[in-house]
């Protein structure tokens, strides 16, 4: 079996986008708090069948580990309540896709991270998604600020309660930033690759795996700069 371990739902139905646009406007002080729209199974099937499922079959793969659009997580937008609501709807949409195409997709969740808040809300959503929705992992954002790196490094003890939940639930995390709001860093051309490299170096500098020997991370996008500058990392001490 050939499994693509890194797939995102980038062809979401238009009502899902419209909700997010209204939510962002509300977070910025404009308009009322929006309600999530009804999205039919047919709308979801159309977006998947003509896109991810078609490509999966054309390329000879069997299954995709599937999560919400990473650049759309937007943890720098609004407050924790905005992130919680948005993450819940995004994850529920993934769960519906998995239920429709159980032989082709397995779900991974988005977390309701937000700047400067405890990780407890993300633990709650991880437990819901694994326990109730059958998801097998999560996307963990090391930089909820969107390109300004205001969060402590991944080896900081403020992250430990989340790691404890990961180990308890026996699920991995893909280390994955969201969109960049820093003009110096293009989201996919720079920020993603910078973050992969930065996360690797944070892990190298710390002793996290001594405290959590069963903790599992995936660093995507080819590992950023790591494979191309291995001598720097091997000799950093």
CATH number where 142 lies? 3.20.20.140
pLDDT higher than 90, residue 103: yes
Q: How many structural domains are present in the chain?
A: 1
pLDDT higher than 90, residue 30: no
Examine residue 232 and state whether it is found in any structural domain, yes or no.
no
Examine residue 94 and state whether it is found in any structural domain, yes or no.
yes
CA 52, 56, 59, 64: dihedral to nearest 10 degrees?
110
- Sheet with 173-175, side-by-side order of all strands: 109-110, 138-140, 173-175, 217-218
Question: How does pLDDT run across 158-201, given as a tens digit for each residue?
Answer: 999 999 999 999 999 999 999 999 999 999 999 999 999 999 99
- Report CA-CA distances (Å) from 168 to 32, 67, 156, 174, 225: 39, 21, 19, 17, 31
Which residues share a beta bridge with 217? 173
Host domain of residue 38: 3-225
Which pLDDT score, from 0 to 100, does residue 235 have?
85
Question: How does pLDDT run across 207-220, given as a tens digit for each residue?
Answer: 999 999 999 999 99
Examine residue 50 and state whether it is found in any structural domain, yes or no.
yes
Examine residue 79 and state whether it is found in any structural domain, yes or no.
yes
Examine residue 172 and state whether it is found in any structural domain, yes or no.
yes
Helix (H, G, I), strand (E, B) or coil at 68: strand
Helix (H, G, I), strand (E, B) or coil at 105: strand
Alpha helices in 140-206 (DSSP H): 160-169, 192-205
Q: Which two structure tokens, joined as six digits, stand for 74? A: 């937007």
Q: How many Å apart are CA 197 and CA 220, to the nearest integer?
A: 10
Which pLDDT score, from 0 to 100, does residue 125 have?
98
Examine residue 231 and state whether it is found in any structural domain, yes or no.
no
Entry pTM: 0.95
Examine residue 233 and state whether it is found in any structural domain, yes or no.
no
């Amino acid at each position: 079996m050939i499994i693509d371990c890194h797939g995102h739902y980038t062809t979401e139905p238009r009502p899902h986008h419209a909700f997010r646009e209204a939510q962002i406007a509300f977070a910025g002080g404009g308009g009322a708090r929006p309600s999530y729209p009804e999205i039919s199974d047919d709308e979801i099937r159309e977006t998947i069948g003509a896109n991810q499922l078609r490509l999966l079959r054309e390329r000879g793969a069997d299954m995709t580990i599937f999560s919400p659009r990473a650049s759309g997580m937007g943890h720098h937008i609004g407050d924790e309540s905005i992130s919680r609501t948005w993450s819940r709807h995004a994850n529920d949409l993934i769960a519906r896709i998995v239920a429709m195409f159980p032989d082709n997709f397995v779900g991974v969740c988005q977390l309701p991270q937000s700047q400067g808040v405890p990780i407890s809300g993300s633990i709650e959503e991880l437990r819901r998604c694994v326990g109730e929705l059958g998801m097998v992992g999560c996307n963990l954002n090391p930089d909820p600020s969107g390109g300004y790196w205001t969060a402590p490094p991944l080896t900081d003890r403020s992250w430990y309660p989340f790691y404890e939940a990961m180990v308890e639930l026996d699920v991995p995390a893909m280390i994955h930033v969201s969109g960049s709001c820093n003009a110096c860093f293009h989201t996919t051309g720079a920020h993603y690759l910078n973050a992969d490299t930065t996360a690797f170096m944070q892990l190298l500098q710390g002793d996290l795996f001594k405290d959590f020997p069963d903790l599992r991370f995936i660093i995507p996008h080819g590992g950023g700069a790591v494979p191309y500058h291995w001598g720097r990392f091997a000799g950093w001490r």
